[in-house]
Amino acid sequence: MSGAELSRQLRLGKSDALGRRRQISVLTLISIGSMAIVSLYQLGIIKHLPEPPLPKMDADKVDAAAEAYEILWMPDAVLGLGSYAVTLGLAVMGPDNRARTRPWIPLALVAKTLVDSLAAGKLTVDQWTKHKAFCFWCLLAAAATFATLPLTIPEAREAWSRFNNS
């Protein structure tokens, strides 16, 4: 498939699979945006994380915690940016019929979004159990992540059946 054909398909295609891939992309971009905002704070570029005045919200406390800097000696939001970039890449990779022609891509995407969801769940639980507070931006990213997983299942199911029958 040429780049021109892929461009046309991704931008103008109307299949259910492409619709879900676009939804996955939007949700993943919401997570990326949230992690970008937290990264600005964790890197000292901004001094305070704005968030709605809701009970139990204290992003500054949660995102400045020592454990947010322990994996690979960098802020965890920066790691989140890289991880969500991989998820976005898998969501947009390949042609409309990739479940039939490249079944490994939808299978990798469903596995990646499952890992993303488990990580988001663990981090959300950790916020409460360790800090008795939540980060609004982290909750937004977690919600978008959880919403992504079911969108990956139909294409993965089709890919699995193709993969299994080959």
pLDDT digits (tens, 9 = 90+) for 77-136: 999 999 999 999 999 999 999 999 999 999 999 999 999 999 999 999 999 999 999 999
| Domains identified in the chain, total number | 1
Domain extent at residue 143: 3-164
Instruction: Please calculate the CA angle 2-87-113 and round it to the nearest 5 degrees.
Output: 130
- State the CATH number of the domain containing residue 131: 1.20.1440.130
Tell me the average pLDDT across 29-52.
97
Using CB atoms within 10 A of its CB, is residue 119 exposed (0-12), middle (13-18) or buried (19+)?
A: middle
In 3D, which of 150, 125, 129 has the Cα closest to residue 139?
A: 125
CB proximity list for 51: less than 8 A, separation 6 or greater: 57, 59, 135, 136, 137
pTM: 0.93
